[in-house]
Chains A and B, each alone.
Chain A
Amino acid sequence: MNDMQTRAAAWHEIVLATLKSNNVKLITYVPDRVFTPLIKALHGDPFFTTFATTREEEAIGIVTGAWMGGLRGAVLMQTSGFGTIPNALASLVVPSQIPALIFVSERGTLGEFNLGQAMVCKTMRPVIDSLGVENHTITRQDELAFIIDRSIKQAVATQAPVVFILSPLLTGGKVFEA
């Protein structure tokens, strides 16, 4: 097993365990290749209610309703998917003070092969920052549990969303042969 496979096997276990220890039971997602081991593990664990939605903003709506009904939820997407949710964040999640937990598999950098992904990536952080939304780019496995655990607690305590951008430095990213 090479080094990348070792790291890839570990990061998603940490994410799952941290979601579980914070009682985040609802997981909605639009699929992503890099997140596949995480999504598969979530589907396989009966603690979680995990399903795909047709669009990322639909997933945002579902976790918003779930929070108001007393259930914590997270949304998984890739960078291009983030490009579809600014309206849902700006007109629902932020003004209503919903602690939506948003995990983005970062595409568009560190070896991207798709120009479309690369361009969307350039818009992502400026949009998050202009909304004043807490966000962390996670590059190191030794910081992963701390950042996610503390940020979930802060999101709930302060009733504010948080975006976790999982860098290819953490996940290995999606690779191609140049």
Chain B
Amino acid sequence: MTAKQTGAVSAHNAKVMNRADLTKRLVGQLKCDEAVVGGIGNANFDLWASGQRPQNFYMLGSMGLAIPIAFGVAIAQPQRHVIALEGDGSLLMQLGCLATVAMRAPKNLTMVVWDNGIYQITGGQPTASASAADLVAIARGSGIANSAWAADEDDFDRLVAAALHNGGPSLIAVRTDNKPGVGTTDRDPVQIRTRFMLGLGVKRHQ
């Protein structure tokens, strides 16, 4: 069995991929109105550019809280799968949330981490994951057993499909390039929140 088949790809030999491309691939796999929470910065911008689904939430501040917000949605709506898209710098700011998610073990939560090794939006300063921290090892150590690096695009698609169908919580880490986000989120928090609640069936159109 190859490393790819076992999901045992390590960070250093995972292919460096493009976040916008993989965001589109991910969204393309969503057939059941899954909720997607985009973290602050480029995770958000590329989610916006992939098409403004009503089940998408774009976080404008509160760096590090994409996974906690997605986890809250997952608690409220256990029948709906929820996906958090978070950057490496943001996750490093709130690592404790991995332990909380593992402790509660929500079956309907998938966490995707885009690891480009830099705080891209603030000027490209290196993150700890560029040289030292392995985010999959941290996730496993926090209790998220179903954590893996995506080896390449096909492997990413397979990991997403497995996370959606086999249940979670799962964490998929992806090494990404330093190309900037391709969209820009409308910065209207009330509209974003309202649209999301309509998309989740919590509010109704009047």
Q: Which residues of A contact B (CB under 8 A)?
A: 26, 49, 51-55, 57-71, 73, 87-88, 90-92, 95-98
Contacts and interface: CB of A to CB of B under 8 A. Distances in A.
A51 B68 contact: no
Contacts of B59: 92
Given A70-B200, A71-B75, A90-B61, A65 B69 contact: yes
B99 A54 contact: yes
B37 A65 contact: yes
For chain B, what secondary structure do more than half of its interface residues adopt (helix, strand, loop), or is it mixed?
helix
B173 interface: no
Contacts of B76: 26, 65-71
A58 B70 CA distance: 11
A87 B93 CA distance: 13
A87 B201 CA distance: 29
Contacts of B80: 69
Contact of A69 (B63, B72, B99, B192): B72
Contacts of A95: 60-61, 189-190
Given A49-B75, A65-B74, 11 more contacts: A51-B100, A54-B99, A54-B100, A59-B68, A61-B68, A62-B72, A64-B65, A68-B57, A70-B77, A90-B61, A92-B69
Interface residues of B, number: 38
B206 interface: no
- Give the one of A26, A52, A55, A65 with max B CB within 10 A: A65
Given A68-B193, A97-B193, A98-B193, A58 B75 contact: no
B39 to A, nearest CB: 11
- Give the one of A55, A62, A63, A95 with max B CB within 10 A: A62
Nearest to A54: B96
B97 A96 contact: no
B64 interface: yes
Nearest to B197: A68
B72 A65 contact: yes
A73 B103 contact: no
Contacts of A92: 59-62, 65, 69
Given A54-B96, A69-B77, A97-B190, A61 B61 contact: no
A96 B75 contact: no
Contacts of B60: 91-92, 95
Given A26-B75, A57-B64, A69 B96 contact: no
B100 A61 contact: no
A59 B197 CA distance: 20
Nearest to B80: A69
B71 interface: yes
Nearest to B78: A69
B200 A68 contact: yes
7 contacts: A26-B76, A51-B104, A53-B97, A54-B100, A57-B94, A68-B57, A68-B72
A65 B68 contact: yes
Question: 8 tightest A-B contacts by CB?
Answer: A91-B61, A65-B72, A54-B96, A69-B76, A61-B68, A61-B65, A71-B76, A66-B72
